[in-house]
Amino acid sequence: MRVSVGQDSHRFDESELNKKCILGGVVFDTAPAFSANSDGDVVLHAVTNAVSGITCRNVLGRRADEMCQAGITDSRAYLRTALDDLEKQGFRPVHLSISIEGKRPAISPRVEEMRASIGALMGLPAECVGITATTGEGLTDCGRGLGVSVFCVLTVE
């Protein structure tokens, strides 16, 4: 077994009207899109980083930049790339715990939908994907509504 921590954060881009706010593969209409070259799905970026922590093959960075330049901006594609690396090394995910910090959008009403979406991407049952959310009492920029920060812990065997 191995365990890895993933993290990512993005600011909102209030001026971006052609993109949607996407978290864990789920569209949120109650917040602006994120400032990012990709769709900015900060949840999937954190998970991708956690997978890269296991495989020691970074996806976000040069590989994702090349994908963006080729027109691939869907964060699910980055996660699939990382999961391909994981599978080639003989590992499979068994549990994922995600902690989201942000004032907006409201996460709690959509947690089950996010768990199902992420579980399907990871090949995990939804009950093996834990999601918690907090405003962090407004102590950070994310807690004040300027963006979203995500930490996650991935367990594989």
Q: What is the 3-state secondary structure (H, E, C) of the chain?
A: CEEEEEEEEEEECCCCCCCCEEECCEEECCCCCECCCCCCCHHHHHHHHHHHHHHCCCCCCHHHHHHHHCCCCCHHHHHHHHHHHHHHCCCCEEEEEEEEECCCCCCHHHHHHHHHHHHHHHCCCHHHEEEEEECHHHCCCCCCCCEEEEEEEEEEC
Predicted local distance difference test score (pLDDT) of residue 17 = 81
Residue with tokens 């907090």: 134
Candidates 91, 80, 82, 74; CA nearest to 58 is 82
- pTM confidence score: 0.96
Q: How far apart are CA 27 and CA 33, in angstroms?
A: 10
- Residue 41's alpha-carbon distances to 2, 3, 28, 90, in angstroms, are 25, 22, 11, 27
Higher pLDDT, residue 138 or 48: 48
Question: Taking the CB of residue 57, how many other CB atoms lie within 10 A of it?
Answer: 16
Predicted local distance difference test score (pLDDT) of residue 52 = 98
Average pLDDT over residues 108-124: 97
Predicted local distance difference test score (pLDDT) of residue 22 = 97
* Mean confidence (pLDDT) of the chain: 96
Q: Are 11 and 146 in contact (CB under 8 A)?
A: yes
pLDDT digits (tens, 9 = 90+) for 54-110: 999 999 999 999 999 999 999 999 999 999 999 999 999 999 999 999 999 999 999
